[in-house]
Structure 1
Amino acid sequence: MSFTKNLKTYFLFHPVNTILIGLNLLMLIVTYLFGGFTTAVLLKLGAIFPPYIIDNQEYHRLILAMFLHGSIIHFLMNNFVLYQLGAYLERLIGSINYLILYLVSGLISSIVITYFGEVMSITIGASGAIYGVMAGLLMLTFIRTHWFSDHQIRNIRQLMILNVIFTFIVPNISILGHLGGLVAGLLLILLLSPKRPDYRNKLTKEKYINVLNEQNR
């Protein structure tokens, strides 16, 4: 399949996740255009800095910081996980529910960092929202066990354990941000999980893919 065809197919099944990754990429480009990954640039573009939020009421930072990254490696790591796990969760719970879980998990993570973290710290990244995604998948393995194979359940749970360990042993990680997103994801999925996996448009999507295949023969 061509890149364009792959992109169309991915967007068809994961429209919200595609847009989220696109926004992360857009903010990466903007960061470069403003001068790169410096503290001044990141603050200008919306990084979390508690005094600006609490004292100056710059509440937009609670959302904007979710789409900023501190380096190419930071961007690639977060978006690789988002590309894989975010897509998986969006297929299971549907695009609207997925969008709510992602944004609210990220927002709660930002609030926890702002009001309970280091006062003079500067924080950016999608990790809080991504931990919400991972936590949502983890909770589904307990409340919707029949959706998964034993192998999938084991992999998801092991991944969550490894990432929690990663949070505590790697320097320059926002522990509160990760844990805030994690707790948010665990709770939100209880409200947002459908009774069945979201396959309502499966046939329509399969027909669309068949048309794409015919066009590219």
Structure 2
Amino acid sequence: MITNYYEKHPITSLIILINVMMSLVVLFTGGFDNLVNLVEWGAIYPPFISINNEWYRLLTSMFLHGSLLHVFFNMYVLFYLGALLERILSKWLFLTFYLVTGLLASFAVYALGNPNVVTVGASGAIFGIIGALFIMTYLKPYYFNPYFVRSIRSLTFINVALTFIFPQVSFYGHIGGLLSGIVMYFLLVKPKITNA
């Protein structure tokens, strides 16, 4: 089963593996509650980006999480929805999509968020995936069964609502990821499925 999943979704599998490995590294080198530890491993901390030009944090923060529950839920969604989008796009286009939406979400956090807050998580890129699939359920609904169409729309509305409700959630990361995913749908996904 694992081998079959990897063969069909190599990029999704690799991203999940890196996230899990980095979560274990953080756990055993100081823990998730240690903000200094998270920053040392590459979390977004705006002053270090603007003052020290540590722009790599926009990328590395995408593979870090704030708790085991945080990484579990993100990887659970990625396991299903990331795999679906990878099958639609092909592995290299999916990798491009994932990195671009994640980086844009990270930049939104850096540029618009609280400069004193440490931010980590794959949520920006995952919201990008959700955004693309959400738009696709309206523009290309025949790609999915009716149950999936209802599910992805409900998932989108619920997660956007939770973004506004819970203060500990990265508002700009989630909304930035969602909007960048919608834009990337038109740049990458739509041309791919139109030419298929």
Q: CA deviation at 1:196?
A: 5.5
2:23 is aligned with 1:28: yes
User: Of 96, 101, 110, which aligns to 2:97?
Assistant: 101
Q: Which residue of 2 aligns with 1:212?
A: none
Q: CA deviation at 1:166?
A: 1.1
Q: CA deviation at 1:145?
A: 2.1
Instruction: Indicate the structure (1 or 2) with the bigger Cα radius of gyration.
Output: 1
User: Of 125, 148, 168, which aligns to 1:129?
Assistant: 125
SS at match of 1:180: helix
**Matches of residues 28-177 of structure 1 in structure 2 within 5 Å?**
28-37=23-32, 38-177=34-173
Amino acid at match of 1:156: I
Q: CA deviation at 1:35?
A: 1.7
Give the 3 Å change call, closer, same or farther, for CA 156–135 of structure 1 in structure 2.
same
**1:28 & 1:152 partners in 2: Cα distance?**
30
Amino acid at match of 2:13: T
Q: CA deviation at 1:163?
A: 0.7
Segment of structure 1 superposing worse, 165-174 or 129-138? 165-174
Structure 1: gaps spanning 5 or more residues: 1-5, 199-217
Q: 2:88 touches 2:193 (CA, 8 Å); kept in 1?
A: no
Q: CA deviation at 1:197?
A: 9.1
Structure 2: gaps spanning 5 or more residues: none
2:187 is aligned with 1:191: yes
Q: 1:131 touches 1:182 (CA, 8 Å); kept in 2?
A: yes
Structure 1 vs Structure 2 CA RMSD: 1.4
**1:153 & 1:71 partners in 2: Cα distance?**
31
Task: Using the aligned pairs only, state the percent identity.
Answer: 39
**2:145 & 2:19 partners in 1: Cα distance?**
32
Q: 2:44 touches 2:57 (CA, 8 Å); kept in 1?
A: yes
**1:110 & 1:81 partners in 2: Cα distance?**
19
Q: CA deviation at 1:116?
A: 1.1
SS at match of 1:195: helix
**1:7 & 1:197 partners in 2: Cα distance?**
31
Q: CA deviation at 1:177?
A: 0.7
SS at match of 1:55: helix
**2:24 & 2:195 partners in 1: Cα distance?**
35
Q: CA-to-partner distance for each residue in 1:116-148, whole Å, 9 max, x for gaps?
A: 111111100000010001111111112222212
